[in-house]
Amino acid sequence: MTTPKTVAFSKHSTNLFFHILTQCNLKCRHCYINPQQHGQNALSLATIKAWMAAFAENSAKTNLILLGGEPTLHPDLSLIVKHARNTGFGSITVDTNGYLFHDTLAKVEPQEVDYFSFSLDGATRKTNDSIRGDGSFDACLAGIEKTISRGFAASLIYTVSSVNIHELEKMGPLLKELGIHRFFIQVIGLRGKAAHQQSVGAVSERLQVPRAQWLEMIPRVAREVAKQGITTIYPKVFLNLDEHFECAGLVADNYFIFPNGRVYRCPLCEDFPIHSLQFRENVLEKTARFNEADLFQLNIPEGCVMNKLVQPQNLKYACPGKPEYKIACCLLKEEIRGQ
């Protein structure tokens, strides 16, 4: 049975998306990192430990995701992982583009990392490299093979856009061949580089997939991949008008930490200085109003307030003020367990 299950928001678990640096060796077309808003420094090991401590009380129920930029560029990544494991985080994931710098795999053990999660945006070298850069397809596949051969579990992230959705159906056989355990289908957001290019009228305006195409293809491909024994997760994105909208900023514990100390609760807010939390001298504090938390309180017929503000092209109206559908919180996922 491969029926999708909506993953409910929960206050009983925490997802901690920790950007330990913003440096990266690639220049992906859709990169959401915004150095002006997120900082350009790599955090020191001491600072990372101090910031982790702010979430240590609930560590057993916290999923820690270490990100960049490219986190394996951080020379202390292995020490960060070991400290996180000793702190007792419930799960630890390292998001990587596959180059695995600093001989990362030799410095950590499979019991210390729950997943290495790889980013690949095409089933072929041509498509992926046109998005992520020359050589990135081969490097990612080599990194996955090396990771799995050393006993680590691997997941894969595919960010769907208009330039690679035609290859999504080809991913199932490749995932099976590679030995991937989990497959994440992501929706492209107009943040960071893509948002900037859109503002100057570049081709990125057309990167987002239309609703009809998303609904026709994404759930179907997810079911097919799950039939191969690979747990598949994808964002809900669209809600019918009679479906209940919930904002994760109100009903879940998700934190997006950046090297400049900003901590957001909603990823759609990350291009703007409206973060609701901030590390100051290694102490996590609430920021002054007005911030993203005030937006979470708003109830509009379109569903997600931030989507309405920053990417309203996702919406369609029957008449002024009456949308044909809602946009779900970007953190609401559908999950199909691998059979």
DSSP annotation string for 254-270: EEEE-TTSEEES-GGGT
- Cross-strand bridge partners of residue 279: 284
Mean pLDDT rounded to a whole number for the chain: 92
Reply yes or no on whether the pLDDT at 131 is more than 90: yes
Spell out the long-range contacts of 200-206 with Cβ–Cβ below 8 A and sequence spacing 24 or more: 204/29, 204/30, 205/313, 206/162
Beta strands in 32-72 (DSSP E): 62-67
Least confident span in 180-194, 286-300, 321-335: 180-194
Tokens of 279: 């590390």
pLDDT digits (tens, 9 = 90+) for 302-312: 999 999 998 89
CA 126, CA 228: separation in Å to the nearest integer? Answer: 25
pLDDT digits (tens, 9 = 90+) for 220-260: 999 999 999 999 999 999 999 999 999 999 999 999 999 99
Reply yes or no on whether the pLDDT at 13 is more than 90: no
CB 220 within 8 A of CB 335: no
pLDDT band with cut points at 50, 70 and 90 for residue 288: very high
Nearest Cα to 87, choosing from 114, 60, 116, 51? 60
**What's the CATH code, domain 5-301+331-336?**
3.20.20.70
Return the domain boundaries, the chain. Answer: 5-301+331-336
Average pLDDT over residues 104-125: 98
Nearest Cα to 115, choosing from 184, 30, 23, 61? 184
pLDDT band with cut points at 50, 70 and 90 for residue 182: very high
Q: Which of left, alpha, beta for 88 (phi over 0: left; psi -120 to 50: alpha)?
A: left
Query: Which pTM value belongs to this model?
Result: 0.94
Choose between 193 and 231: higher pLDDT: 231
